[in-house]
Amino acid sequence: MARYPRRDAEIGDPEHLGRRRFKRARLIGFPSQEAEPALTYLDFLDERDYNISTDRLGPNGIDTKIKDRLALLARASAESRVPKMVFLGWANVQVKKFLKEARGHRYSIKPDPISGAESEDNEFHAVICCPTDRTHLEVALYLCHVFQKHGGTIDAEAVPASGPVKSALAWLMQFAPWRRKD
């Protein structure tokens, strides 16, 4: 079986694309703020370019090993931003459904692997090429609509605690009364 993804291979219909989502800042001292919806147009708003960055999540659906590898890269990316951000997961959609919905709107998808430092090396990177005669807001609203209608969200798993605190907790847990086998 060939290695996924081959650098020269086009993106297949059964693949899923994921757009990384990050936690947005909230007002401090206002506990009555409405809960943020799972997916908003802000997740797709990118005013730098008309190529929207995405991740290829697997050749025939969402592959857990690929998702875990990409989650490490996303967390590293979130930590390196100024200000630091928190990675929440992905908005995802199947390529076939995206292309069917985007037919006639001049959106296309192409592989765009990133080579660089190990923390930035992403062979699963792809871009959605958007029409340049639209504003960035129009593009973000359209992509949000397509991802909501034909896709969903994938939450990132919490990173387990490590280091001396985890070791101390593990040591203390051996004395817990419900774990004793007297």
What is the full DSSP assignment across 48-117? S-SEEEEEE--TTS--HHHHHHHHHHHHHHHHHSSS---EEEEEEEEHHHHHHHHTTTT-EEEE--B-SS
The per-residue pLDDT for 98 is 94
Q: Is 7 contained in some domain?
A: no
Q: Is 11 contained in some domain?
A: no
* 3-state class (DSSP) for residue 101: helix
Which has more confidence, 96 or 61?
Answer: 96
pLDDT of residue 28 exceeding 70: yes
Which has more confidence, 87 or 7?
Answer: 87
pLDDT of residue 129 exceeding 90: yes
The per-residue pLDDT for 150 is 92
* 3-state class (DSSP) for residue 136: helix
> What is the domain count for the chain?
1
Q: Is 92 contained in some domain?
A: yes
The per-residue pLDDT for 52 is 93
> How far is C-alpha 164 from the chain's CA centre?
30
Q: Is 175 contained in some domain?
A: yes
The domain containing residue 97 runs over which residues?
16-179
> What average pLDDT score do residues 75-91 get?
88
Q: How many other C-beta atoms are found inside a 10 Å radius of the C-beta of residue 70?
A: 22
Give the chain's end-to-end CA distance (angstroms, integer): 53
Work out the mean pLDDT of the chain and round it to a whole number: 81
